[in-house]
Structure 1
Amino acid sequence: MESPSAEEVIEAFTDAVQDQLDTGDAIEVPGLGTFSVEHRPSGVQEEDGVRRLAPPRNEVVFTPEPGA
């Protein structure tokens, strides 16, 4: 039986993280940190003198483990 390639391992890891975040749960990776989802409300943004309303959204946030 062949060992999985690095690409396959990374793909499996990202799929697992995405699945967990899709449910709204945080995922902790020991020795690395925590991935979580935070809700950002709508708000006014200004760029090059143009103001626009940014829609509410969810953002993936990574918090590194202390000392990592």
Structure 2
Amino acid sequence: MESPSADDVIEAFTDILEHQLSTGNAVEVPGLGTFAVEHRPSAVQTEDDVRRLLPPRNEVVFTPEQDA
């Protein structure tokens, strides 16, 4: 049996990560950190006297693992 290529491993990881995050689960990668989804409410952004309303959204956030 042939070993998976680095591209195969990365593709499998991103598929799993996408699925878990889309269902609201965080993904912890030992030695690396944690991927999670955080909700951002709507907000007003002011730039050069122009105000824009930013819609609510979900963002993927990454928290690196802290060395003990």
| TM-score (ref. length: structure 1) | 0.91
The runs of 4+ residues in structure 1 deviating greater than 4 Å are: none
Q: Distance in 1 between matches of 2:10 and 2:53?
A: 36
Q: Distance in 2 between matches of 1:52 and 1:6?
A: 43
Q: Distance in 1 between matches of 2:60 and 2:47?
A: 23
Secondary structure of the structure 1 residue equivalent to 2:7? helix
Q: Distance in 2 between matches of 1:23 and 1:47?
A: 35
Q: Distance in 2 between matches of 1:51 and 1:8?
A: 45
1:56 aligns with 2:56: yes
For 1:51, the aligned partner's letter is R
Percent identity over the alignment is 76
For 2:23, the aligned partner's letter is T
Gaps of 5+ in 2: none
| TM-score (ref. length: structure 2) | 0.91
Equivalent pairs counted in the alignment come to 68
For the aligned residue pairs, the C-alpha RMSD in angstroms reads 1.4
